[in-house]
Amino acid sequence: MSKFVAECRKAGVLTCLAVQLICAGSAAQAQMPPEKPREATVAPAQPAIPYRDSQLYCKNIAEEASDARIQWQTWKMIALEGRLQARIAELQRKEREFEAWVERREQLLEQVEDQVVSIIGRMRPTAAAEQLSTTEEEAAVGVLLKLKARVASAILDEMEPARAAQLTQTMMGFTDPEIQRRF
């Protein structure tokens, strides 16, 4: 029976809502004023301004001008692309040339360095120490690293202690002054 009561309530609520909607719609129609008949209003005729010849010409060739502009831009882009490709090829050629030059230079330096190392290795330790103490630090370290340990230690022993310590630390990889102070 409760099911029957629930359905009756639902039907009653729906009926009440339908009646309210109908009443609200009729009240809205009753409140709206009647429409007035529209009078035919004619706007005053404006005199047509004739196009000038230049305006007609521009209007007639607008599409062809647009196509010509696109073709010109396309041609410019193709020309720029060709110049860019030529420049890239030139840069690649120069890069290969530079790499070959660097390789030749490295080979020459290696040969010269080997000769310098053999010369310094054959010198007396005091003379070698004098030579290496006046040379650039990187060159001196390079030579000392290529020498046999016994020869390098004899040369470092003949150098003044500050320069020998500096070269030794550089050989060990400590080139930062902050690291040198902590060591």
Roughly what angle, to the nearest 10 degrees, separates helices 137-146 and 125-134? 150
Task: Let me know if residue 31 belongs to a domain.
Answer: no
CATH code, 118: 1.10.220
Host domain of residue 179: 88-183
pLDDT in tens, 98-132: 999 888 878 877 776 788 888 888 999 999 999 88
Task: Let me know if residue 93 belongs to a domain.
Answer: yes
For residues 162 and 174, is the Cβ–Cβ distance under 8 A? Answer: no
**How many domains does one find in the chain?**
1
Task: Let me know if residue 46 belongs to a domain.
Answer: no
Confidence category of residue 45, pLDDT binned at 50, 70, 90: low
Task: Let me know if residue 129 belongs to a domain.
Answer: yes
What does pTM read for this prediction? 0.39
Task: Let me know if residue 79 belongs to a domain.
Answer: no
d(CA 147, CA 130) in angstroms, rounded, equals 16
